[in-house]
Amino acid sequence: MPKEEINEKTAERLLLAAREARKNSYSPYSLYPVGAAVLAESGKVYAGCNMENVSYPASLCAERNAIGSAVAAGERKFLAIAVIGSYDSYTMPCGVCRQVIAEFKIPLIIAGRSEKDYRTFTLEGILPYAFEEDSLKKEQENP
């Protein structure tokens, strides 16, 4: 999705919410706090932060935390998700988060040095050839 399709006020609103969520990060091992905020079709914003565990696979990324909160509240359709990491760089979602973002086909906004410095990405741009529902149906039809 080109940047102009995600209105600037929406991007800034989500990036501010992600920045606030990042303040609550529990990241004692990586020391890399991440915040995310997802905008549901209902207009509500759901935020999440990363939550680490000494056993890394038990950790929860900010993106999945935000999307999970929205899903738990009954949301199923999303307009955008914003992610803001640390060190003033563009923090891309991990592979598992990309797959969760793909499940809901959510356009992605990644912050740089400020809420005005961001990039947008399409699903195809961050996860080409994603494993999607159509893939599963094809497998069921042709065992």
Q: Which residue positions form the known binding site for substrate?
A: 50-56
**Secondary structure class of 109 (helix, strand, coil):** strand
Q: Which residue positions form the known binding site?
A: 50-56, 61, 94, 97
Q: Which residues contact 83 (CB under 8 A, 6 or more apart)?
A: 18, 34, 35, 36, 62, 63, 91, 92, 93, 108, 109, 110, 111
Catalytic-residue membership of 12: no
* DSSP 8-state assignment for residue 4: G
Using CA atoms, how far apart are residues 126 and 23, in angstroms rounded to an integer? Answer: 26
Q: Which residue positions form the known binding site for Zn(2+)?
A: 61, 94, 97
The catalytic position among 8, 12, 20, 63 is 63
Helix (H) or strand (E) holding 16: helix 8-22
Catalytic residue annotation: 63
